[in-house]
Structure 1
Amino acid sequence: MIVWKSKDVPANALLHDWNYAPRLFARLHVVYTNGADGRSQWIQPPKGTLKCNTNAAVFQKANMTTWVAMLRDSIGSFVGCCFGFGDGCMKANMVEALAVREASSWLKDKIIAAIIMETNCPTVIEACTNPAEDDSEMGIGS
């Protein structure tokens, strides 16, 4: 069970959303931005485009997870954000995937012409851009 906006989400609805994700990502440009030194660096999107950066964290000692999505314009100015947290520990790549999913859900109703979705989790990018080839635990199967 996943709780979102204080609603229980049935497993079949979650599976439907997960299976729909590749079509959503076909409309988004997803990039991985770790430099050669392993540090993330923010790169400006083209003028007229917004960039949504996502990130997540797992706090094992506190038994909780958290994620955030921040939307910025082409000069780096803050446009908006959403975030969430929950009790229990998930694997880091799953929380990163949740961050991208929740950010996508948050952005879908906004009237924005072009958005670049950016994450620093290569497993999530691979699962979203090549789902048929993904054999990780985030694979959606074929």
Structure 2
Amino acid sequence: MHVDIDATCPVCQVSRESINHCLVECPFARASWARTDIGVSTIVDGTFSAWLESLFKIFDEEQRKIIAMTCWALWRVRNDCVWKGKVARVATVTNLAKHTLVQWTKAQDKFEVPTATFLTKEDGAESWRKPAAGIVKINVDAALFSDSSTYSFACVARNDQGHTLEAITCCRNGVVSPELVEAMGMREALSWIKKKSWDKVIIETDCLTVVQALRSAISMDSYFGSLIKECKGLWNDDKNIRIFFVKRSVNSVAHALARASCHVADCTIRGGDFSPAILDEEVQVATEEQAIATASIKLHKIFLAARGKRLGGASLIDECARSWLEGASVIDEGARSGIGG
């Protein structure tokens, strides 16, 4: 089979396309570089990489970022012209480069403090509460394991009596940001709701970034942005789903399950797998936080037992149980004991 390929530049539709022409020499590219106002030369004597290297030697760090992002934006606009039939505009290149650079810079800032943008008075719960009659509540949380270069997320669904209906976990190889894993967990929760055909659902997550992104109309050109777009698509298909930001203390069960999943692969724990003792202990334990802690430890045990994974000698889970009942954090104690990687 023979496929004819047009080598003409899809933007100017005059010259033969090459990497030099597309990103530097095309009249459209030159106009885009002129809009950066940093004095980039559009004369190429050799390869594109040599041209780029020469620029990086004479411009400062901030200007190099603008150069790199403008190259990416030019290529992105060129692809949109070819594959989506969009009209290439210089303003699109400069705005895309500028907006993406701002997002990237914020993502690198470890001291960036998230604001309360897009939050409501219903957000920020500090303790878990049973949902209203007929509503299923799903808690989503993630965990990262730097030692094994893996990450996981868990979703726990409970009914209006506070009883667990089902829980799912996923564990994957890779080194990614916490926000990405939280977004993956949210996508999994929304897909799960669709499969289970639950009518009215509340989703709670302690990732403020994901909640803000879901409520924002801003489109993000990144992998995180594509995950949020998928989540929005699933969310928009079902108007009976509400998503709220909660404090980490609310997500104890989901977090304990996410950390437990590093021991085994993906797992589904159904309502019938949960011992009635969990409910009995929830009644006997004085505070809700302790009840959630006890339930999370039971889930952890069921999870490991279901896969035949048992701990030799003194059980680390039992150590966590005692710590929980003394008011300590299962997450912190688990980290000290080695649970979760």
TM-score by length of 1: 0.66
Q: Equivalent of 2:180, from 75, 89, 94?
A: 94
Structure 2 counterparts to residues 26-45 of structure 1, below 5 A: 32-33=123-124, 35=126, 41-45=127-131
Flag the structure with higher helix content.
2
Q: Equivalent of 1:54, from 140, 154, 159?
A: 140
Instruction: Confirm whether residue 78 of structure 1 aligns to residue 78 of structure 2.
Output: no
The structure 1 segments of at least 4 consecutive aligned residues displaced by more than 6 Å after TM superposition are: 133-137
Aligned to 1:9: none
> Shift in Å at residue 110 of structure 1?
1.7
Structure 2 counterparts to residues 1-142 of structure 1, below 5 A: 32-33=123-124, 35=126, 41-132=127-218, 138-139=224-225
Letter of the 2:146 partner, please give it.
Answer: Q
> Shift in Å at residue 84 of structure 1?
0.3
CA 1:136/1:68 → structure 2, altered by over 3 Å: closer, same or farther? Answer: same
Q: Cα deviations across residues 72-95 of structure 1 (Å, max 9, x unaligned)?
A: 011210001111001112100110
Q: Secondary structure at the match of 1:67?
A: strand
% of aligned pairs identical? 29
CA distance in 1, matches of 2:131, 2:191: 21
Q: Cα deviations across residues 15-56 of structure 1 (Å, max 9, x unaligned)?
A: xxxxxxxxxxxxxxxx75453xxxxx2122111100010000
> Shift in Å at residue 111 of structure 1?
2.2
Q: Which structure has the greater CA radius of gyration?
A: 2
CA distance in 1, matches of 2:204, 2:145: 22
CA distance in 1, matches of 2:181, 2:125: 18
Consecutive unaligned residues of structure 1, counting only runs of 5 or more, are: 1-30, 36-40
> Shift in Å at residue 121 of structure 1?
0.3
Flag the structure with higher strand content.
1
TM-score by length of 2: 0.29
CA 1:130/1:42 → structure 2, altered by over 3 Å: closer, same or farther? Answer: same
Letter of the 2:137 partner, please give it.
Answer: K
Q: Secondary structure at the match of 2:160?
A: coil
CA distance in 2, matches of 1:62, 1:68: 18
CA 1:119/1:135 → structure 2, altered by over 3 Å: closer, same or farther? Answer: farther
Q: Secondary structure at the match of 1:115?
A: strand
Partners of 1:32 and 1:118 within 8 A in 2: no
Letter of the 2:201 partner, please give it.
Answer: I
